Amino acid sequence: MRRLLLSILSLFLFLSFSHLYAKEYTVTKVIDGDTIQLETGEIVRYIGIDAPELYVKNGGAEFYAKEAARYNRKLVFLKKVRLEFDEEKKDQHGRLLAYVFVKNIFVNAELVRLGFARALIKPPNTKYKDLLLSYQKKAMDEERGLWQETKKDTEMVYIGNKRTYVLHRPNCPLTKKISEKNRIIFRSRMDAIRIGYSPCKQCKP
């Protein structure tokens, strides 16, 4: 609770004073539910969230991906945005990693709050972890957006990595690389997702 209150206070202070000094950029393209392009040509990947994929290998889109992209567009397209960074400024693809604000709207959090994206915890970028998880819990409880899709557990247990916040099936090759101190067992995939774990891209639990 204390960390959540600190996150809310930090957000309030940022929104209250950031307009006095923060540089603003115009969003010229919305790539999907969690990625945009600025007038500078730079690509920005929102920190702390993961929207459903618009393009997957079979040529389709994940559940609620189009809705997420449309709502992201509504929030930011051709608008001035402010960027706030965390510990890492760029990812391995060279994209900027940022918390995005349009006036007093915290875009990353708004997408999670309304069920257009999941909270994605990836240390060391965890400044708003508690705030995003609290919004996700409420969206899950109310079955908003992407949480309308129900998936049954297909495994007896799931294995999480406490260092990376990634959730795996027990037979996933990547589980062999998880040390005992970082290994955590879940009886339900939703129990893991509720506290910030993200499904492995390889074994797709």
Indicate which residues carry an active-site annotation: 45, 53, 95
C-alpha distance from residue 35 to each of 49, 94, 146, 165 (Å): 10, 13, 17, 21
- Backbone φ, ψ for residue 101 (5° rounding): -130, 135
3-state secondary structure of 157: coil
Return the closest-CA partner of residue 186 out of 173, 196, 176: 196
**Measured between alpha carbons, how far is 146 from 167 in angstroms, rounded to an integer?**
18
Q: Is the peptide bond before 124 cis (omega within 30 degrees of 0)?
A: yes
Residue 23 — left, alpha, or beta (φ > 0 → left; ψ -120 to 50 → alpha)? Answer: beta
Residue with tokens 């797709």: 204
Nearest to 76 by CA among 117, 131, 37, 23: 37
By CB atoms closer than 10 A (0-12, 13-18, 19+), residue 193 is buried
